[in-house]
Chain A
């Protein structure tokens, strides 16, 4: 269909786009092993000493513990609220039903700074002091949609006849949930949770506005990026943060994909994250 020139152009453009996507990631990995404090290319000598240095930094430990705690709580909240919303929209017809997904997706479609300053000014107005709890609240707000998207996509693919059959066989609501619905959506829940976790672990735009003096990994990177002396540590943290994020996402992708083979529709459960968190 396409002419030979068109096909060539498309292939060429595809390679350009893929290189554009991956060169920066490769660069970050290489620089983590850079021996010199000056960030000159090409890298002249390699070392792993900054990994040890980063590991022993108390600030960084604090940031890591905070980030893990925040991401866990935000994920838990998102799981509860996101799957509840998904069930409600999937099972019932009610006024405003079509607006639920629009509502949930707003925190990641409106510019991140808006969510950030809105939360900031309302916490201040009501005298809630900024800290771990306010970060968790902020993160949960934009993580909900990730869980919701995954669960509702799965529910839509699970035939309702399963639930009806279970009821016909005399199961009560809880048993139906435990033995029929839950197994069907289990991997979607895990995928949603992993993505929500990654989203929270990555967030900086909103976090900066609701964190007060608390450190998180992205805040640590942000604060130290402009100090040339700390660059080597930032390089190391960058690679570790990248791995911490990519691994759960690949697992999530697998989980959603595995179900995909069974499900009727194509197209992954794993929706695009929205923003960097809200983020960005």
Chain B
């Protein structure tokens, strides 16, 4: 008996609570949205703001302490030092090269999965594409170090075939190859999505109007999958811009990420690193704006 009464009282309390929220939907919205919003405002945007501010600070030459002497000195150094300009351009160039490579590599498999495979095989391919994405990032980088080493699989294959030898360990080629490997699934999935959404009637119409395969691809398929391609490229481009691990493990060239890493770790010049970090932010801001124009956000 007692428990039933307790049940009722509790029920009525919770009833009252739910009535309150039913009448005040904004109260409930506040409870739900408050947490994530506060977290992002404080932890994430707060940090980005501090990063932005510290780009205008300096470092005491003798004590290596951060001094808050506001000014554009870091940006001046960035702009006037050839090395930093070269590194920034090199990074953007690499990101573009990796992105294009991934699009070219991804297209056939995406097309096969979306338009030629049986449903069962399509699922298998999708899982097969997603699994490497989750197979530990560092391990996948490491594996390329093993493959590309002078005594590794690649050179062994080339030598066994008698084509000579292929020494690309610690080179720009190694960096390009590793990045292309890492981000391929990211590029592939949105392209697959875009291809799958094309209605077969479009292709039939194109064929009925006399277009051959290539013409249909160029005039119908390609324009329709542009949002998917751009959506995929956001990842390969952005992730390449912000990565310092791959160049330091499989290559010996410096990219934006390495300069930032060295300045935070070894040189202890966080304000300069912060200023340099604004370069990829600016590049991505422009990239995202263009991507939005091209309808990539709907294809994400």
A-to-B contact residues, CB < 8 Å:
1-3, 6-7, 9-14, 16-18, 20-25, 27-28, 31, 38-42, 80-82, 84-85, 87-88, 91-92, 94, 100, 102-107, 109-115, 117-122, 124-125, 137, 140-141, 144, 172-175, 195, 198, 201-202, 204-205, 208-209, 218, 221-222, 225-226, 234, 238-239, 241-242, 245-246, 249-250, 253, 267-268, 270, 272-277, 279-280
Contact = CB atoms under 8 A, between A and B. Distances in A.
29 contacts: A9-B108, A11-B108, A14-B108, A18-B125, A24-B140, A28-B143, A39-B149, A41-B146, A107-B44, A111-B241, A111-B242, A111-B243, A113-B256, A118-B48, A119-B43, A120-B270, A121-B270, A144-B36, A173-B22, A175-B14, A201-B136, A218-B136, A222-B249, A238-B142, A242-B139, A272-B185, A272-B186, A276-B182, A280-B242
A39 B148 CA distance: 11
A198 B235 CA distance: 19
Contacts of A106: 44
B131 interface: yes
A202 B137 contact: yes
Contacts of B149: 39
A249 B142 contact: no
A36 to B, nearest CB: 11
B46 interface: yes
A50 to B, nearest CB: 15
A17 B132 CA distance: 12
Contacts of A91: 29, 32
Nearest to A267: B193
A115 to B, nearest CB: 8
A20 B184 contact: yes
B87 interface: no
B79 interface: no
A111 B146 CA distance: 26
Contact of A85 (B17, B32, B125, B270): B32
A117 B213 contact: no
The 5 lowest CB-CB distance pairs between A and B, nearest first, are: A111-B242, A13-B108, A173-B18, A276-B137, A24-B143
A14 B43 CA distance: 42
Contact of A110 (B46, B128, B284): B284
B295 interface: no
B112 interface: yes
Interface of A, secondary structure class, is: helix
A172 B280 contact: no
Interface in B35-75: 35-37, 39-40, 43-44, 46-48, 50-51, 54, 66
B25 interface: yes
Interface of B, secondary structure class, is: helix
B146 A125 contact: no
Contacts of B212: 3
Interface of B: 11, 14-15, 17-18, 21-22, 25, 29, 31-33, 35-37, 39-40, 43-44, 46-48, 50-51, 54, 66, 105-109, 111-113, 116, 125-140, 142-147, 149, 151-153, 156, 181-182, 184-186, 188-189, 193, 203-204, 207, 212-214, 216, 234-235, 238-239, 241-246, 249, 256-257, 260-261, 264, 270, 273-274, 277, 280-281, 284, 288, 297, 300
A12 B108 contact: yes
A113 to B, nearest CB: 4
B264 to A, nearest CB: 6
B98 to A, nearest CB: 12
Contacts of B106: 17
Contacts of A173: 14, 17-18, 21-22
B137 A41 contact: no
Given A85-B33, A112-B242, A118-B48, 5 more contacts: A20-B105, A27-B143, A106-B44, A117-B51, A141-B40
B284 A117 contact: no
